[in-house]
């Protein structure tokens, strides 16, 4: 008879973990193909962003693609993709 409460608690614990940690795809941005996946405790951003470097004389230079995968934990996971991009560029 004591095994039934243990099983119920284990199932509840597993469901809570799934809700907190299961990432859900949110979409693709029109910046080169950046994708993000949200969970309650974190956000995964797969950066695929076009960047154009400016030459010293002010003319346009090479276009490059910034490709990296970053995990943002709570509370940063609640920020917009533009705010996360600023964080990504400052940590570079």
- Mean pLDDT value across residues 3-8: 83
* pLDDT tens digits along 23-65: 888 888 888 789 999 988 899 999 988 887 776 666 666 778 8
Report pLDDT for 37. Answer: 93
Q: Is the pLDDT at 12 greater than 80, yes or no?
A: yes
Dihedral of the alpha carbons of 34, 92, 82, 79, in degrees to the nearest 10? 100
Mean pLDDT over each residue of the chain, to the nearest integer: 84
The 3-state secondary structure of 13-77 reads HHHHHHHHHCCEEEEECCCCCCEEEECCCEEEEEEEEEEEEECCCCCEEEEEEEEEEEEEECCHH
- Can you give the pTM of this predicted structure? 0.72
For the chain, the domains span 23-90
pLDDT for 45 equals: 92
pLDDT score for 59: 66
pLDDT at residue number 71: 92
């Amino acid at each position: 008879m004591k095994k039934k409460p243990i099983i119920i608690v284990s199932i509840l614990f597993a469901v809570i973990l799934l809700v907190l940690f299961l990432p859900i795809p949110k979409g693709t941005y029109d910046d080169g193909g950046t994708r993000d996946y949200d969970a309650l405790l974190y956000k995964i951003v797969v950066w695929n962003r076009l960047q154009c470097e400016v030459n010293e004389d002010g003319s346009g230079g090479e276009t490059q693609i910034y490709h990296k995968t970053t995990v943002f934990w709570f509370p940063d996971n609640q920020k917009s993709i533009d705010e996360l991009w600023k964080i990504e560029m400052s940590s570079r």
